[in-house]
Amino acid sequence: MTVISQIHIVGSNPIHYQMSLNMPSSRRQFIQYSLLASMGLLHSNRLQAQTPAKHSVGVLLDPLFFKHDRKGHPESAARLEAIDKELSRRNYWQHFTPVKGRPATQEELLSTHQSGYIFEIQTLSEEGKDIFYSAYSEDTYINEHTYDAALMAAGGNIELNLAVYDRKIDRGFGLLRPPGHHARADQAMGFCIFNSDVIAARALQKYRGVKRVAIIDFDVHHGNGTQDLTIKDPSIMAVSIHQHPYWPMTGFESFTGIGDAEGTNVNCPFLKGAGNQTYLDVYDQVIHPKLEQFKPEHIIVFAGYDGHWQDPLAGHQLSVAGYNRLVQRCIDSAEALCGGRISFSLGGGYNLDPLAQSVAGSLHTLLALDEDPRYHW
């Protein structure tokens, strides 16, 4: 079946899309399919893969995520391009259900960030300059598309998690940029602008009445922003496995929550060289038991792949196979505790080949595809 549709976009000439619904094998077709489905021009928003997966996995990807970019920076659009190339090579796009994103509203941003900070990011982005947010640290850049991309990452993550919670899809993965776990209420840092996972958790609580959300962060850097934003909130459990001592020099095991939130902040810091088994053991011995006590109704995972043994920024020595097993542990917790409701959002990973292979491995695990002997994990 082939659909030919004409879409009128304000301020633009009509755009003609032609695509096969049976084989949307490329990222470009995937985004086009998502756009058509969101406008009611398709009868179904579920892709028809040649080899059906055991679970429907919603994927969020928006063109804006490629426009927040700085050539030569570790966190650039080249990361998504590498992931796209690997998913296309494996013909995985056909398996995903497109989730159409939208910009977060000001009210949704204000659930997590201060108004002055939001205005600051908007103003700096609208100036159209390619600048660093902090001249001192020079780690987080802003260009003319940053504010719009960050709004889309936050709002899109809300839509992805609502789709999972409402069981429109079994599981979700947001290929989001810019990332969010270092973003604080009033400060951008560590490549991050808006903390889209905390924003999504609070949207679930507001729109669906969810009482308890767990955020699991396996990026090799501690999610200091997520910790700061939830340290006094007993309704959100923030779990982090990370390298320590290491930037941003936070994430001590002794930080467990404040007041009524005591016990809902779980830090698992490990020295350089931790490896696959350390991650899996701490998940089994600490994280899953803590989740059992908390009883989340929904789980969000900040999936950073910068702990890979080939990554240039850290030294936790994980492999793709290790990440696959860790992802499966997260899925198993969701199946046991909250009806399988789980989504993932893209975190770090700065060596492009292992990043792309790790993301492909995680999506393979989420889909529960049969093992393909052509691919070495």
The residue with tokens 């899309």 is 17
- The pLDDT score that the predictor gives to residue 137 is 73
- The pLDDT score that the predictor gives to residue 36 is 52
In angstroms, the CA 357 to CA 43 distance is 33
Strand partners, 133: none
pTM of the model: 0.89
DSSP string, 283-348: IIIIIHHHHHHH--SEEEEEE--TTBTT-SS----B-HHHHHHHHHHHHHHHHHHSTT-EEEEE--
- The pLDDT score that the predictor gives to residue 253 is 97
Convert 54-73 to b/e letters by CB count within 10 Å (16 or more is b). Answer: ebbbbbbbbebbbbbbbeeb
- The pLDDT score that the predictor gives to residue 10 is 26
Q: What is the pLDDT along the chain (377 residues), one digit of tens a residue?
A: 333 333 222 232 332 223 333 434 577 667 665 655 554 434 334 444 444 578 899 999 999 999 999 999 999 999 999 999 999 999 999 999 999 999 999 999 999 999 999 999 999 999 988 899 986 677 999 999 999 999 999 999 999 999 999 999 999 999 999 999 999 999 999 999 999 999 999 999 999 999 999 999 999 999 999 999 999 999 999 999 999 999 999 999 999 999 999 999 999 999 999 999 999 999 999 999 999 999 999 999 999 999 999 999 899 999 999 999 999 999 999 999 999 999 999 999 999 999 999 999 999 999 998 876 555 55
Q: In Å, how far are 79, 182, 194, 351 from 358, measured between CA atoms?
A: 12, 21, 24, 11
Pair of tokens at residue 256? 């467990």
Q: List, by residue number, the catalytic residues.
A: 182
Quick count: other Cβ atoms within 10 Å of Cβ 43? 10
In angstroms, the CA 18 to CA 24 distance is 11
- The pLDDT score that the predictor gives to residue 333 is 98
Give the closest residue to 57 by CA, choosing from 339, 340, 298, 337: 340
Residues contacting 315, CB < 8 A, separation 6+: 243, 272, 273
- The pLDDT score that the predictor gives to residue 37 is 52
- Reduced to 3 states (helix: H, G, I; strand: E, B; else coil), residue 173 is strand
In angstroms, the CA 131 to CA 143 distance is 7
